[in-house]
A and B are shown apart, each in its own frame.
Chain A
Amino acid sequence: MSEHDYSRCQSLLASLSEYVDGTLGEELCADIESHIAGCRDCHIVVDTLRKTIHLYHTTTAEGASVPEVVRERLYRTLNLEDYLT
């Protein structure tokens, strides 16, 4: 991030999570957008951060399941084996 005022890049980083989540206030959003329009490095950080989160969300959306043997042992431990289907 040598082409720009490094402290500016650094200060915007603190708001990046909320920026990519869409929960940042309008004014700070505009600040970030104006900065990344002229700072390629920060632009890449924003894009790859967003993509990182997206990849985790994508794999998570594929579901959560308990292996059948683990499920059976869980129900037995809890004395709920009558309800195993």
Chain B
Amino acid sequence: MSENTFKVVSIEALRSGDRLEFACLVEAYSGQIYRLALKMLGQPQDAEDVLQNTFLKAFQHIQGFEGRSSLSTWLYRIASNEALMLIRRKRPETPLVDLTPDEEEGDSFAPVNLADWCCLPEDELLTSEGRLRLDQAIQRLPEKLRIVFLLRDIEGLSIDETGQALDLSETAVKTRLLRARLRLREDLSAYYAERLGERRK
């Protein structure tokens, strides 16, 4: 996300407790934060909890914001933590997200589905059912891949910003992004190959 898209929010005004400035911050970023939370969690009520907690924490901790990252990356960092914590609270048996090093996962890179569905026209790819499938494919990603994909490919953060938001190295972000994208490709290929088959009947 480009900060230039929005009115420039004054960090000094936020630190001084200027409520109007905070309202501007909320107005500028709440759409993106809600989208991230909804796609991460899949439930509107959970997404709303994360949205509220993100701005409550931003309110509380603005004095500690040192400007090492951009304001938007800082907000995404808070929102990502809130979303991941909510997932852990709901499923306490889930292992902590970042404990497993990427190289130990045995996660194969090898693509399986080789249907060439690129020829399908865009309006057939993006039917309401197709859009639902896009969202469902995100939900099927493991959390640690999902959050990287969402920050990088949906919210448009750079590799560096994604790493700052999640406390991950550049290499870890790139590895997880690739795995997420390949899994999504696989998932969508299974769906669109069926559409391709129906079209040829």
Asked whether any CB of chain B lies closer than 8 Å to the CB of A64, the reply is yes
Of the stretches B52-60, B84-92, B98-106, the one at the interface is B52-60
Residue B111 at the chain A interface, CB threshold 8 Å: yes
Distance (Å) between the CB of A62 and the closest chain B CB? 10
Smallest CB gap from B109: residue in A: A13
Contact with B26, one of A18, A63, A75 (Cβ below 8 angstroms): A75
Kindly list chain A residues whose C-beta atoms are within 8 Å of the C-beta of B185: 45, 48-49, 52
Q: Which residue of A lies closest to B159 (CB)?
A: A23
Which listed residue, B20, B56, B188, touches A78 by the CB 8 Å rule?
B56
Whether the Cβ atoms of B114 and A74 lie closer than 8 Å is no
CB 8 Å contact bits of A44-85 with B (1 = contact, 0 = none): 110111011101111110011111001101110111101100
Given A10-B110, A48-B116, A59-B134, A74 and B189 touching (CB < 8 A)?
A: no
Say yes or no: A74-B26 contact (C-beta < 8 A), given A47-B116, A48-B117: yes
Question: A17: which of B20, B23, B34, B177 is its contact (CB, 8 Å)?
Answer: B177
Assess A53 versus B181: contact at CB under 8 Å? Given A45-B114, A64-B34, A74-B30: yes
| B44, B56, B188: the one within 8 Å of A77 (CB) | B56
Judge if B131 is at the interface, Cβ distance under 8 Å.
yes
Which DSSP category, helix, strand, loop or mixed, fits chain B's interface? helix
Give, as a whole number of angstroms, the nearest-CB distance from A49 to chain B: 5
Given the contacts A16-B178, A66-B30, A56 and B116 also touching, CB distance less than 8 Å? no
Residue B32 interfacial (CB < 8 Å)? yes
Q: Which chain A positions have C-beta within 8 A of B31?
A: 63-66
Are the C-beta atoms of A49 and B26 separated by less than 8 Å? no
Task: Specify which chain B residues have a CB less than 8 angstroms from the CB of A56 in the assembled complex.
Answer: 134, 153-154, 184
Q: How far is the CA of A33 from the CA of B111 in the complex (A)?
A: 18
Decide: A45 and B134 in contact? CB cutoff 8 A: no
Contact flag A52-B109 (CB < 8 Å), given A59-B134, A77-B56: no
* Besides A16-B181, A53-B153, A73-B52, 4 new A-B residue pairs in contact (Cβ under 8 A), listed by A number: A1-B110, A48-B115, A74-B26, A78-B55
Interface residues in chain B, defined as those with a beta carbon under 8 Å from any beta carbon in chain A: 19-20, 22-23, 26-27, 30-32, 34-35, 44, 48, 51-52, 55-56, 59, 109-111, 114-118, 122, 125-126, 131, 134, 153-154, 156, 174, 177-178, 181-182, 184-185, 188-189
List the 7 shortest-distance A-B pairs measured between CB atoms, nearest first: A83-B23, A64-B31, A64-B35, A17-B178, A52-B185, A66-B34, A44-B116
